[in-house]
Amino acid sequence: MWVIINQFKVLILEVEDALVEVKGHEKSAVIRNTDNIYGKMFEWPSWCNDTKEPTWCEYLMWDSAKDSWYPMTLKYKYYNDPENDAEVERRMEYGKGE
pLDDT digits (tens, 9 = 90+) for 72-87: 888 888 889 999 999 9
Tell me the C-alpha to C-alpha distance, in Å, between residue 41 and each of 13, 14, 76. 12, 11, 24
pLDDT recorded at residue 51: 76
pTM comes to 0.46
Mean pLDDT, rounded, for 47-51: 79
Q: Are 18 and 11 a contacting pair, CB within 8 Å?
A: no
pLDDT recorded at residue 42: 73
- 54, pLDDT greater than 70: yes
- 90, pLDDT greater than 70: yes
